[in-house]
Amino acid sequence: MDLILTFFLGFIRISCIIYFLPLFGSYNVPWQVKMGLSFFITLIVFPFIQHQRIIGNIWILALNICHELIIGLTMAFIVHFVFDGIRLAGQFVGYQMGFAIVNVIDPYSSNQISITSQFKQLLALLVFLGIGAHHFLITAIVKSFEQISLGNAVFTGRLMENLIHISGAMFSVALKIAAPILVTLIFTNVALSIIARTMPQINVFIVGFPLEIGIGLLIFAVSIPFFVFCLKQSFHQMAYDLFSSLRLLGGH
């Protein structure tokens, strides 16, 4: 019975992480796939956690389940903050380029987002997989059971400060990624304003709309290496934030 409870609590933590990860959190991914993957990873991790004994009292078990849910959600949202920053950068760029009315359905949230936001998000996922960050996540799941035994999470003010700092960093990630295009388009708007003032016979709106789109796409293509560099930095920072949060949750 103890082994079943141990497996069950481990499954709850892992399924919470898998269900809300950017890669598998999409509504297009069937819940059966998410649960099956969670079950498979729990089987792999189980030899590392089978020695952790769980008290069978119903109230303590309910409290342990809440602890595992919070641990899983915390880990998933730390990963999500990076992708939220990327999505926000795409929204900034899309609005500035004139794509505010051209939206697509985001498969992760089922909400409408800018096409530039969707493109940046897909590119970020490719980089995420390309640098092997998904392997790191599996390692982080195993390490989480070493840092935090089942049902023994510690919630402190330092943890909340850390999570607030991580969530605030989302905006700096967004501005850093969007900066090349935003700065270029601001200068483009200034130039168009000067042209409109000096040559009023030119219809700046007709000229400026396709010009901003063209310049935005050009700078977007040129700045892809910078975008990938920023992504790698953000993913490395995500790894640091994830492990620091795990240490705090473990009371270290």
Structural domain for 104, as ranges: 75-249
Pick the closest to residue 121 from 95, 82, 92 (CA basis).
Answer: 82
- pLDDT for 100: 63
Residue 4 inside a domain? The answer is no
Residue 233 inside a domain? The answer is yes
- pLDDT for 25: 66
3-class SS at 68?
A: helix
Residue 23 inside a domain? The answer is no
Residue 22 inside a domain? The answer is no
Pick the closest to residue 68 from 91, 83, 52, 44 (CA basis).
Answer: 52
Q: How many domains are there within the chain?
A: 1
Contact 89, 178 (CB under 8 A): yes
DSSP state of 55: -
- pLDDT for 1: 61
- Which stretches in the chain have pLDDT values below 50? none
Residue 216 inside a domain? The answer is yes
Other residues' Cβ atoms within 10 Å of the Cβ of residue 91: 20
Residue 109 inside a domain? The answer is yes
Residue 1 inside a domain? The answer is no
Residue 227 inside a domain? The answer is yes
Pick the closest to residue 74 from 174, 168, 167, 172 (CA basis).
Answer: 167
- pLDDT for 54: 67
